[in-house]
Amino acid sequence: MSEQRRALITGISGQDGSFLAEFLLEKGYEVFGLVRRTSISSLERLEGFEDQVTLLPGDLLDASSLMSVLEQAQPHEVYNLAAQSFVPTSWSEPVSTAEVTALGVTRLLEAVRHVCPEARFYQASTSEMFGQAPAPQTEQTPFHPRSPYGVAKVYAHWATVNQRESYDRFAVSGILFNHESERRGQEFVTRKISRAVARISLGLQDKLVLGNLEARRDWGFAGDYVRAMWLMLQQDEPEDLVIATGVTHSVEQFCERAFAEVNLDWRKHVETSSRFCRPAEVDQLVGDATRARELLGWQPELSFEDLVRRMVTWDLHRVRQIEEQSHTAAPDLSR
Ligand code: NAP
Ligand code: GDD
């Protein structure tokens, strides 16, 4: 009988980490997750399968913790999904973003090289690296990042390529375009919209304030994208790939679709404020994933319309649940 495959996921508590963990468990992997200490638990997204994964304490800021986690997990595959991933925060905290999102990757690559050099390595790169480069963007498109986050990810991308070229390691960079789900953080625009749509339709709020409505993104479903991450590590040769749907929509179009799900006119509820605009914007992202289709046989399964419906439906359910709990919960006088 062949040995059970072991995977280590950094960022397991995040949107992608949770989908990837579920996906790998279904494939029969033993799954380890690196988690950092937070003042309240950030493991909500692992609900339902938390007891099937082994969580190990560590932080991309702390090289010794990475060595220790790798020694315990002895993974065949390492998926580096951990990052400070919210673009606006990268302007307010550019140095800490670089520490985690850029240098953190070097710390992890070096730790893998010393502890388990045979492990295959996946780096979560991003379409933010393309920034203002003309669309559609492919593996050949030159990078022109427009945020400190994008700059940090370009460093991490090249650090990964360089490890591959220097040490003949299986290390790849997946250049993923925006992907969303009901597990998306509430500060990202799609989830901000789907949640507000739910609350507005249930009479809990009236307005939604956004920034630039004209920005265009190539939005896919996170569940489809973690499949591509795994496929990239199963190839005979390491290769960096663009993963995208090839279809782009504006923030305004996302609003229109999401409000239409609950039969509301988005124009009556959406306002804009410069508070949510960025010092430098990425106007349009559209990925060309031809190479991934050819090499991996990968293509997205959930359409834009189904993605929006899925998110709004989930938020309607969730907001109702929270409302019901807040009306029935007895006050906890023990604290
Ligand atoms: P996410 O939900 O923001 O999750 C980020 C994860 O990183 C969380 O688990 C977070 O842990 C962890 N983390 C942050 N700082 C850390 C540190 N210092 N040490 C260890 N862990 C740390 O992001 P996501 O949407 O799942 O994205 C996953 C990865 O793909 C990220 O690298 C992101 O930049 C990249 N990416 C995302 C997209 C997208 O559209 N979603 C597209 C391209 C690339 P806590 O729970 O403790 O905060
Ligand atoms: N967050 C947010 N909030 N964005 C807004 C808002 C708002 O109120 N109003 C308009 N936007 C616009 C942003 O200016 C941006 O052009 C677009 O909506 C998408 O913003 P986000 O959802 O925050 O995502 P992002 O594209 O900046 O970054 C995400 O995708 C990258 C891949 O391209 C993140 O997941 C990154 O980690 C990821 O690398």
Instruction: Report the alpha-carbon distance of residue 209 to residue 195 in Å, rounded.
Output: 12
Coil/strand/helix, residue 64: helix
Instruction: Report the alpha-carbon distance of residue 135 to residue 206 in Å, rounded.
Output: 36
From 42, 81, 93, 225, the mutation candidate for ligand 1 (largest count of ligand atoms within 8 A of CB) is 81
Instruction: Report the alpha-carbon distance of residue 241 to residue 127 in Å, rounded.
Output: 11
Specify the pLDDT at position 134: 94
Average pLDDT of adjacent 10-residue blocks, the chain of 335 residues = 93 98 98 95 95 98 98 98 98 98 98 98 98 96 98 98 98 98 98 98 98 98 98 98 98 98 98 98 98 98 98 97 82 56
Task: Indicate which residue's Cα is closest to atom 2 of ligand 2.
Answer: 189
**Annotation says 128 is catalytic:** yes
In this structure, are strands 77-80 and 6-10 parallel, antiparallel, or unpaired?
parallel
Q: Which of 242, 85, 79, 82 is nearest to 148 (CA)?
A: 85
213-250 burial, b for 16+ CB within 10 Å, e for fewer? eebbbbbbbbbbbbbbbbbbbeeeebebbbbbbbebbb
Enter the DSSP assignment of 102. I
Cα 325 to ligand 2 centroid, rounded to whole Å = 31
Specify the pLDDT at position 328: 80
Q: Identify whether the C-beta of residue 123 lies closer than 8 Å to the C-beta of residue 156.
A: yes
Ligand nearest to the CA of 62: 1
Specify the pLDDT at position 327: 80
Please provide residue 10's backbone torsions phi and psi, each rounded to the nearest 5 degrees: -90, 145
**Residue 34 amino acid letter:** L
Specify the pLDDT at position 245: 98
**Annotation says 126 is catalytic:** yes
Task: Indicate which residue's Cα is closest to atom 10 of ligand 1.
Answer: 11
Tokens of 82: 């951990």
Specify the pLDDT at position 335: 52
Domains of the chain with CATH codes: 6-181+219-243 (3.40.50.720), 189-216+249-280+303-325 (3.90.25.10)
Enter the DSSP assignment of 100. I
Instruction: Report the alpha-carbon distance of residue 248 to residue 325 in Å, rounded.
Output: 38
**Residue 307 amino acid letter:** L
Name the burial class of residue 290, with classes exposed (0-12), middle (13-18) and buried (19+) by CB atoms within 10 angstroms of its CB: middle
CA atoms within a 13 Å half-sphere pointing along the CA-CB vector of 273? 7
Q: Measuring from each residue's beta carbon to the nearest atom of ligand 1, which residues come in under 6 Å? A: 10-11, 13-17, 34, 36, 38, 42, 59-61, 81-85, 100, 124, 126, 176, 178-179, 185
**pTM for the predicted model, two decimal places:** 0.97
